[in-house]
């Protein structure tokens, strides 16, 4: 058999395996997000159901109320979590006339990746960074800081945007938004730092590292991702307040950003953390 026949067959198998892996990631993210939404729904529904039963209402009435409340809380979290995150960080819509390079790159990458164009929002911050949230690709929002566009070269910016679009394609965004919203009330008892680490655990350790690798297969110049991470690490504003916005919800978004290490001491040991920006920048030099 000639090589011309063999190569397409191998490519088809590889693409099929990649498609299966992506579909599995989407299902897994949805299952985990549903479970996260269900926990507070069950807790609130149980409390109300017990109270109703205690005051003398029939058990079946308390049970119905329990189910309705649990389902309602779950639905509200699922629908409103992304918006809550966007409001917390102070995101506002970006207009193409103001940032044509940014919007043009997103258009091209979406066409390459088979994605609908997400909404694009900007957060005022001197720190170059980006994240994405949304229930699905059709409702996703890509968030960039005001410093991102002018701080990176075209190739570097393309790498950052491809990284975030990978999160959108894999539906990482719904799990991320729900994890932050569910963890915000708990931070009252555990403190913000511990709650932020809980968000990191819920969205998945290694999530940013994996998105780097997948984005490198999409962009024209894979080295741009590592170069972008290195530029972020060498930026003059890494001691600026981070994450942007006020309140507990904003503070818990740290592990949703492509560079989650802003504001942390450079001497802090992150051994074993694949999402550490320094680790990922070094890993990109190997490709």
Q: Report, as residue numbers or ranges, the catalytic residues.
A: 164
* CB distance 227 to 151 below 8 Å: no
Three-class DSSP category at 92: strand
Q: Distance between CA 242 and CA 260 in Å, rounded?
A: 9
Find, among 284, 279, 238, 215, the residue nearest to 145 by Cα.
Answer: 238
Q: Distance between CA 144 and CA 125 in Å, rounded?
A: 9
DSSP letter, residue 215: H
Q: Distance between CA 130 and CA 147 in Å, rounded?
A: 10
Q: Distance between CA 266 and CA 178 in Å, rounded?
A: 30
φ, ψ of residue 132 to 5 degrees: the values are -145, 140
Between helix 172-190 and helix 154-169 the angle, nearest 10°, is 80
Q: In Å, how far are 13, 163, 229 from 20, measured between CA atoms? A: 11, 20, 29
Q: Distance between CA 141 and CA 168 in Å, rounded?
A: 9
* CB distance 131 to 141 below 8 Å: no
């Amino acid at each position: 058999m000639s090589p011309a026949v063999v190569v397409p067959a191998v490519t088809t198998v590889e693409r099929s395996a990649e498609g299966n892996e992506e579909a599995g990631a989407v299902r897994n993210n949805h299952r985990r997000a549903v479970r996260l939404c269900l926990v507070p729904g069950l807790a609130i529904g149980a409390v109300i159901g017990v109270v109703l039963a205690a005051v003398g209402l029939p058990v079946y009435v308390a049970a119905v109320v329990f189910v309705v409340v649990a389902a309602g809380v779950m639905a509200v979290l699922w629908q409103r979590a992304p918006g809550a995150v966007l409001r917390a960080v102070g995101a506002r819509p970006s207009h193409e006339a103001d940032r044509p390079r940014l919007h043009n790159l997103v258009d091209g990458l979406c066409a390459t990746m088979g994605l609908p164009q997400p909404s694009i929002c900007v957060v005022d911050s001197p720190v170059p960074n980006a994240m994405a949230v949304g229930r699905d690709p059709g409702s996703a929002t890509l968030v960039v800081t005001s410093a991102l566009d002018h701080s990176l070269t075209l190739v570097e910016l393309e790498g950052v945007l491809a990284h975030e679009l990978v999160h959108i394609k894999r539906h990482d965004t719904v799990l991320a938004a729900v994890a932050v919203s569910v963890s915000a009330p708990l931070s009252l008892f555990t403190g913000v730092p511990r709650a932020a680490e809980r968000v990191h655990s819920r969205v998945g350790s290694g999530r940013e590292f994996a998105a780097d690798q997948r984005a490198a297969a999409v962009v024209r110049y894979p080295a741009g991702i590592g170069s972008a991470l290195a530029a972020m690490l060498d930026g003059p504003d890494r001691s600026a307040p981070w994450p942007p916005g006020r309140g507990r919800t904003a503070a818990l978004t740290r592990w949703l950003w492509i560079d989650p290490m802003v504001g942390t001491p450079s001497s802090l040991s992150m051994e074993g953390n694949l999402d550490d920006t320094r680790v990922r920048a070094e890993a990109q030099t190997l490709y």
